[in-house]
Amino acid sequence: MLEINNLTVEIGGRRILKGVDLTVEAGYTNVLFGPNGAGKSALLMTLMGFSGYNVLEGEIIFKGEDITHMSVFERAQMGMGIMTQRPPNMSGVKLYDLLNVISKDLKETESLAETLDMVRFYERDVNVGFSGGEIKRSELLQLSAQNPDFVLLDEPESGVDLVSIEQIGKTINQLLQKDCKCAGDRCKHGKSALVITHTGQVLDYVEADRGYILCNGTVMCSGNPREMLTEIKEQGYEECIKCKLMKI
């Protein structure tokens, strides 16, 4: 689904990502761990093609095509979708109008809006005055309406209270069609995702297939996401950096 080779990215003259290699297979949900400022969000923003993230080296291959220099719109058209941490205030753009334009199936979107208690936000300007949890629910609703094949999620659980985390986790599961129990079928038709998580809480609801650790703009290692999370919780990220240094 996605293959990143030797990706080096700068923002405003500063190198944020250095030679990143990462893969997300079809039907896989991969998780990105890493300390604050490691470049996790920057990686997701670069993958979606947002301006300000300048690729200096390397390539992004999506569904077999080199999308490194494609526009945000083209990437979305190809089936990529994103939930960012801090989406902009969209003054004047009403949530319902946006859902109406982007929904592949408006009826399904409306029913999900009810589940997520977002119907009362229909006439509100998108993100304006939304609380942390409301932003997450609105973003997930929009993503589900858009129904992309490959989903980038930037800390879906941050700023969300404990009760809502369950709801958000379940919705992500639905979005990624995790209810399809046949692994073979998931590989063929399932959705893929790259998820940033700090706390790993979202892993209680969404089964992850592979984990990556990003420190200082570089991938330190990859492996079983649950094992990784346990080790990070016990030893922190310093151990990763030491481990990497030992290998060099």
Q: Which is nearer to other proteins, 75 or 191 (CB)?
A: 75
Q: Which is nearer to other proteins, 30 or 146 (CB)?
A: 146
Report the alpha-carbon distance of residue 212 to residue 143 in Å, rounded.
24
Q: Tell me the two tokens of residue 212.
A: 């990556």
Residues near 6 by beta carbon (within 8 Å), at least 6 away in sequence: 19, 20, 21, 57, 58, 59
Part in contact with other proteins (CB under 8 A); list of ranges 45-53, 112-120, 196-204, 233-241: 45-53
Check residue 50 for interaction with other proteins (CB under 8 A): yes
| Edge-to-edge strand list for the sheet holding 210-215 | 80-83, 150-154, 192-196, 29-33, 210-215, 218-223
Q: What are phi and psi of 65, to 5 degrees?
A: -110, 145
Coarse DSSP helix, strand, coil percentages of the chain, rounded to the nearest 5 percent: 40, 30, 35
Largest distance between two CA atoms of the chain: 56
Q: Which is nearer to other proteins, 36 or 91 (CB)?
A: 91
Check residue 133 for interaction with other proteins (CB under 8 A): no
Footprint of other proteins on residues 76-105 (CB under 8 A)?
Answer: 76-77, 81-82, 87-88, 90-94, 97-98, 101-102
Other Cβ atoms less than 10 A from the Cβ of 67: the count is: 19
Size of the site for other proteins (CB under 8 A): 25
Q: Which is nearer to other proteins, 126 or 219 (CB)?
A: 126
Check residue 63 for interaction with other proteins (CB under 8 A): no
Contact (CB, 8 A) for 44 and 154: yes
Q: Which is nearer to other proteins, 45 or 206 (CB)?
A: 45
Least distance from other proteins to the Cβ atom of residue 70, Å: 11
Report the alpha-carbon distance of residue 203 to residue 75 in Å, rounded.
27
Q: Which is nearer to other proteins, 6 or 71 (CB)?
A: 71
Q: Which is nearer to other proteins, 81 or 217 (CB)?
A: 81
**Closest listed residue to residue 144, CA positions, set 185, 182, 102, 114:** 102
- Among residues 25, 57, 59, 125, the one that binds other proteins under rule CB under 8 A: 125
Least distance from other proteins to the Cβ atom of residue 177, Å: 19
Contact (CB, 8 A) for 83 and 151: yes
Report the alpha-carbon distance of residue 129 to residue 64 in Å, rounded.
40
Least distance from other proteins to the Cβ atom of residue 130, Å: 14
Least distance from other proteins to the Cβ atom of residue 91, Å: 7
Part in contact with other proteins (CB under 8 A); list of ranges 55-63, 74-82, 155-163, 213-221: 74-82
Least distance from other proteins to the Cβ atom of residue 216, Å: 26
Chain residues in the site for other proteins (CB under 8 A): 48, 50-51, 71-73, 75-77, 81-82, 87-88, 90-94, 97-98, 101-102, 125, 142, 146
